[in-house]
Amino acid sequence: MSGYAQDVVALARKDLTLELRARDTLPAMLLFVLSMLVVFHFVLPAGGSRLAANGLLWVAIVFTALLGLTRAFAAEREHGLLDGLVLAPCDRSAIWLGKSIAMLGFLVAAEVVALPAFALFFGAVDGTTVAAVALANLGICAVGTLIAAMASAGRARELLLPLLFLPLSIPIVIGGVGATVADDPGRYLAFLALYDALFAVLSWASFEYVVTE
Amino acid sequence: MWGDGGGRVITARRLEKRFGDKRVLRGLDFELPRGATLLVTGANGSGKTTLLRLCAGLAAPTRGELEVRAQRRDIGYLGHEPLVYRELTALENLELYGRLYRVPERRERIGMLLERFGLWDARGERAGSFSRGMLQRLALCRALLHEPELLLLDEPFNALDSEGAALLDAELAELARERTLLVATHDPERLAPFATGTLALA
Amino acid sequence: MSTWSRNSALSASALLLLVGGIALAFYWAPEDADQGFSQKIFYIHVPVALTAYAFFAWGAWKALRHLWTRGERYDLESYTAIHMGVIFGLLTLATGSIWAKISWGIWWSWGQRQLVLFLILFLFYCAYFMLRFSTDVGPARANLSAVYAVFGIVLLPVSFLAIRLAEGFLHPVLFERDGPQMTGEMFVAFCVCLAGVLALAAALYANELTGKRIDARLRELREALA
């Protein structure tokens, strides 16, 4: 395995281990997404279309991801640990990649609970939706991790993260909802893949500048 | 490894660092020759920490020139924060840094350092349960793990108890002989035996 | 040419071109066959929109220059460009809404792709300002702003594509407005207006940048004396 890959694995393992020990982010995400789904039931008036519920699934995913992302660099900022990683000889983008992979793990874990719960409350979830969720996860984690690093450099970081992230998440939501409800999901899945590719490369390339002066 | 510069590891010319409107370092000139041990003294807020962070590459100068002829893998940094993850054990912390710094014979080196600084028995405990003194010792292990040629130490005796201080004294004597050191301290007498020079910040 | 005289020249030419352009648009160019007088807003709305795009692109370019060379001037130039872009973006939303109200009797329709795009960009670049305000002045803030500005310019076409795709399941009411069948005179008037708005943009940018630079110098001098 190349040095870069080894760094990424070491860093991702570090984040996953930290969460396993602290056990604060993932339970919060699970509880949050379930609460959201219950709220959605009361938000959809009778006779409302099934499609509306499908759209709301994406609201749940984006906001649950936001909750997780708020914690993404918490340890690093709390104890100045980002310095330790920036000092290391590894490529700074490896920090981003390792953290994104860990975030992806948390998000998928939350969805493993959320999607069946959604199916239980609102009706079955088809394969296309799962594919769309999988593709959207990549984009959310790629962009979200970079934005989380940005937000954590400032003062009102919990406020700043959603403000920076939400406009960037609009194309993801459009792609996801489209794949879920439209007749020809192929276009939307392709669009999600395009978004993922573009913004993953951009995030990978620019992370260096976000964590150094 | 050192490149040109006539054996000078760090060269600073008219170095300035500003935070917003506040100038912390102004027009600083100094050189750190290879093998030297330079003490940086000054009152609180005089910029000792800032200077070390600049040399470590954690911050960029506002103005002036700063040349550090050492790569990241050759720099060891000890700041005010121990830079260890509280939820990981001492061993796991050093394992992580050992991997990132590509330390050869990682396990042996980690074991040796933990023993030398009296942390071997606590190696499997979460760093969050350590006392401040133990954290500082673990931070020293982290900084020395990859046998760096250039050591940047920011008040290393902070928070150390007498036992830890004695261990560090012994370690520093050896390091000052073999490596290049830049040490910020408000207690220069203690380090005077090892020092080759002093840089006083206003 | 000194900064003051250059800025003055820009402002003067902007004034001339803009007044000339508007005069041409309102008094000389014929009315559009379909839309009548309300179409005249097009002479302002489209140039303003194009200028906003240009500002965001210019801001992203300066941001890239900053990341590439870390030259001192680029951060301020990028910030000013985006600042102007947001102002022109707001103008675009305003003129677009006015045009919609006059043409179809409603202030806002999700079917107007360009306006929806500007709404998203407006949100994005407002967050840019929040990012700058919540970070301390320094190289870190300049880096973060620059990266975010580059994200913005990539988001622009991606969002536009997304908006078009969204119509596939949102089915908003699309008010089709045939691009004005421009006669030669209308085209001339449009070009003069476009030149005028761009000149105005350049003048505003130059003046704003000069102002910001003077502010920075003043702070430096004050600090040096302290």
- Tell me the ipTM for this assembly: 0.94
- Residue B85: CATH number of its domain: 3.40.50.300
The residue behind tokens 């600090």 is C223
Encode chain A (213 residues) as per-residue pLDDT tens digits: 789 999 999 999 999 999 999 998 999 999 999 999 999 999 888 776 778 888 899 999 999 999 999 999 988 988 999 999 999 999 999 999 999 999 999 999 999 999 999 999 998 889 999 999 999 999 999 999 999 999 999 888 889 999 999 999 999 999 999 999 988 999 999 999 999 999 999 999 999 999 999
| pLDDT > 70 fraction of chain B, expressed in percent and rounded | 97
Alpha helices in C134-180 (DSSP H): 139-170
Q: Which residue of A has its CA nearest to C159?
A: A171
CA distance B188 to B199: 10
Query: What are C67-126's pLDDT values in tens digits?
Result: 999 888 999 999 999 999 999 999 999 999 998 898 888 899 898 999 999 999 999 999
C209 touches chain A (CB under 8 A): no
Residue B42, Cα to own-chain centre: how many angstroms? 17
**C39 confidence band (pLDDT: 50, 70, 90):** confident
Chain A residues with CB under 8 Å of C164 CB are: none
C contact test, residue of A191, A206, A211 with most C CBs within 10 A = A206
* Interface contact flag, A213 B60, Cβ < 8 Å: yes
Per the structure, the complete domain to which residue B115 belongs is given by: 71-148
**What domain range is A10 assigned to?**
3-211
Question: Could you tell me if residue B98 is inside a domain?
Answer: yes
Find the mean pLDDT for residues B140-150: 97
- Report the distance separating Cα C88 and Cα C50, nearest Å: 9
B63: which residues sit within 8 A by CB, 6+ positions away? B14, B15, B16, B18
3-state DSSP assignment of residue C134: coil
Q: Is the dihedral of CA C209, C211, C213, C219 positive or negative?
A: negative
Q: Does C223 lie at the interface with B, CB-CB under 8 angstroms? A: yes
Return the residue of A nearest to B59 by Cα: A213
Quote the pTM value. 0.93
C165 contact A CB<8A:
yes
Cα distance between residue C26 and residue A24, in whole Å? 64
Cross-chain residue pair A164–C67, CB shorter than 8 Å: no
Neighbours of C90 (CB within 10 A): 14
Question: A interface mutation test: which of B85, B93, B138, B142 has the most A CBs within 10 A?
Answer: B85
Cα gap C76→C62, rounded to integer Å: 9
**Does B108 fall in a domain?**
yes
In chain A, the number of structural domains is 1
Euclidean distance between CA atoms A63 and C158, whole angstroms: 21
**Domain assignment of residue C59, given as a range:** 3-225
Please report residues of B whose CB lies closer than 8 A to that of A88. 72, 97, 100-101
- Number of domains forming the structure of chain B: 1
Instruction: Give how many domains chain C has, as a whole number.
Output: 1
Is the Cβ of A148 closer than 8 Å to some Cβ of chain C? Answer: no
